[in-house]
């Protein structure tokens, strides 16, 4: 999709002639999914309008053109794939009281460095990290990986997510923030910081200790 026509000036967009739903619909029709996600504009226009301020929508409208963050089918598919993969690694949310208690408990993972990183660049909470990984059960069964074995036709891509924000299991969030760019490590994660008593569908049994080999490729 090419660059859309800028149908309103900033002044017109701020006027009463243009409603919040008009701006949201235009942005959802023309902006990339990553841009929409960053500006919390995904979902029904009605629901987005309830939580969005008009000035913020106009700012997003202007920024979309300034940064050329337009809809692109290939990039949107990549975004969907990364979002789906991150959801697979996300653990069930805990009540606030449990989260506060967990903050004070001892780490429930161990880390073994397999390859040293640059020793300087550590990811901070909210940084976008890119990782290669392989997840294994206690018997060595690989239940998930994004590392190509050479026989797959699909091109392998690193998993990208904002670290320390609960997008993945806690053992990943905590472990990755101790690694530096380029480092490869083995994270052995206890059930409480993995998928707990429920497990994950048919992939991971309840109360499973998991081992991940993770390489921190990049930090943004």
Among residues 35, 79, 127, 169, the one annotated as catalytic is 169
Q: Which of 29, 31, 17 is nearest to 59 (CA)?
A: 31
Selected residue with higher pLDDT from 81 and 144: 144
Among residues 22, 72, 81, 144, the one annotated as catalytic is 144
Whether the predicted pLDDT of 86 surpasses 50: yes
Encode pLDDT of 125-178 as tens digits.
Answer: 999 999 999 999 999 999 999 988 765 545 778 999 999 999 999 999 999 999
180 burial via Cβ count (<10 Å: 0-12, 13-18, 19+): middle
Among residues 35, 61, 79, 212, the one annotated as catalytic is 212
Selected residue with higher pLDDT from 101 and 29: 29
Q: Is 109 annotated in the active site?
A: no
Mean pLDDT of 57-62: 93
Q: For residues 134 and 108, give the distance between their C-alpha atoms in angstroms, rounded to a whole number.
A: 19
Q: Is 133 annotated in the active site?
A: yes
Do 117 and 216 meet the contact criterion of CB atoms below 8 Å apart?
A: yes
Enter the pTM of the model.
Answer: 0.55
Please give the sequence-ordered ranges of beta strands (E in DSSP) within the chain, or none if there are none.
109-115, 128-136, 142-145, 159-162, 184-189, 210-219
Q: For residues 206 and 197, give the distance between their C-alpha atoms in angstroms, rounded to a whole number.
A: 5
Q: Is 143 annotated in the active site?
A: yes
> How many other CB atoms are found less than 10 A from the CB of residue 132?
18
Encode pLDDT of 90-126 as tens digits.
Answer: 654 555 555 555 555 689 999 999 999 999 999 999 9
Q: Is 61 annotated in the active site?
A: no
Q: Is 26 annotated in the active site?
A: no
Among residues 192, 195, 204, 219, the one annotated as catalytic is 195
Please give the sequence-ordered ranges of beta strands (E in DSSP) within 33-177, or none if there are none.
109-115, 128-136, 142-145, 159-162
Among residues 24, 133, 173, 204, the one annotated as catalytic is 133
């Amino acid at each position: 999709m090419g660059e859309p026509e800028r149908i309103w000036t900033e002044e017109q967009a701020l006027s009463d002639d243009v409603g919040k739903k008009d701006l949201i619909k235009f942005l959802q029709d023309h902006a990339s999914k990553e841009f929409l996600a960053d500006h919390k504009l995904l979902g029904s226009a009605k629901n987005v309008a309830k939580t969005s301020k008009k000035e913020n929508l106009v700012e997003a409208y202007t920024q979309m053109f300034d940064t050329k963050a337009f809809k692109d089918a290939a990039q949107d598919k990549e975004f969907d794939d990364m979002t789906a993969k991150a959801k697979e690694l996300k653990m069930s949310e805990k009540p606030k009281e449990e989260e506060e208690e967990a903050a004070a408990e001892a780490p429930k993972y161990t880390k073994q460095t397999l390859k040293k990183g640059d020793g300087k660049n550590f990811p901070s909470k909210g940084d976008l990290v890119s990782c290669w990984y392989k997840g294994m059960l206690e018997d060595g069964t690989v239940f998930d990986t994004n590392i190509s074995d050479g026989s797959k036709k699909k091109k392998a891509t690193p998993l990208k997510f904002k670290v320390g924000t609960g997008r993945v299991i806690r053992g990943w969030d905590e472990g990755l923030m101790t690694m530096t760019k380029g480092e490869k490590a083995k994270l052995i994660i206890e059930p409480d910081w993995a998928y707990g008593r429920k497990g994950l569908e048919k992939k991971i049994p309840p109360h499973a200790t998991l081992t991940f080999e993770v390489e921190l490729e990049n930090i943004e």
